[in-house]
Copies of this chain bind each other. A is one copy, B any other.
């Protein structure tokens, strides 16, 4: 399959949505879809869909459209969902436990095999079958268990120090839930989840909607 280099991050960020909609179509038994039909469903223009997918080779066929199963399989491959990574969640609090226990991540090839914390009361425990390891011994543990992915769920003041420790343990990827920007070496892949930012955007539009309704807030 041909693939253009330097596909823009904006395009990459749209791929999971294509993948999600294709999965829904498969569940509904739909076998093929035109870019026009796909457009009406997903809310991107047909031309954008064609452009986006052309970055990775042409999947559609003139007069036929896209084969749903084939396209989903291709997108899974492009997204690297066939790969397997061992991961550790740093921070065994509520969010860390929620993430470590969420089955959906396994479908993406991320196997969370442990949590790490500094709290002596937590270290050595098992949470939903996963051990809580001593944060200070994390680099050693990561190397022993071939863990390449770290998921950061600690408070923002500790996030940078945690990322250093993860990289010391050989992390090639970090998924950061702490509401702060961390710095990592260029070869380490960093993806941030900004729950606060998302809530602030909700807050903005709520305020705008309230103003439109002309209501005064309680």
Shortest Cβ distance from residue A126 to the other chain B in the assembled complex, whole angstroms: 15
Decide: B108 and A102 in contact? CB cutoff 8 A: no
State the 10 A-B residue pairs at the shortest beta-carbon distance, nearest first: A80-B207, A16-B197, A94-B98, A191-B202, A16-B200, A98-B98, A80-B203, A95-B98, A189-B205, A173-B206
Which of the residues B12, B94, B199 comes within 8 Å of A110, measured between beta carbons? B199
User: Would you call the interface of chain A mostly helix, strand, loop, or mixed?
Assistant: helix
Taking the complex as formed, is A139 at the interface, i.e. its CB lies under 8 A from any CB of chain B? no
Taking the complex as formed, is A209 at the interface, i.e. its CB lies under 8 A from any CB of chain B? yes
Given known pairs A200-B81, A203-B108, the reply for A209 and B94 (CB within 8 Å) is no
Contacts of A187 in B (CB 8 A): 209, 213
Given known pairs A20-B196, A193-B195, the reply for A202 and B218 (CB within 8 Å) is no
Taking the complex as formed, is A30 at the interface, i.e. its CB lies under 8 A from any CB of chain B? no
Most B Cβ at <10 Å: residue of A78, A199, A201: A199
- Scoring A residues 162 to 205 as 1 if CB is less than 8 Å from chain B, else 0, what string do you get? 00000000001101000110000001010111111111111111
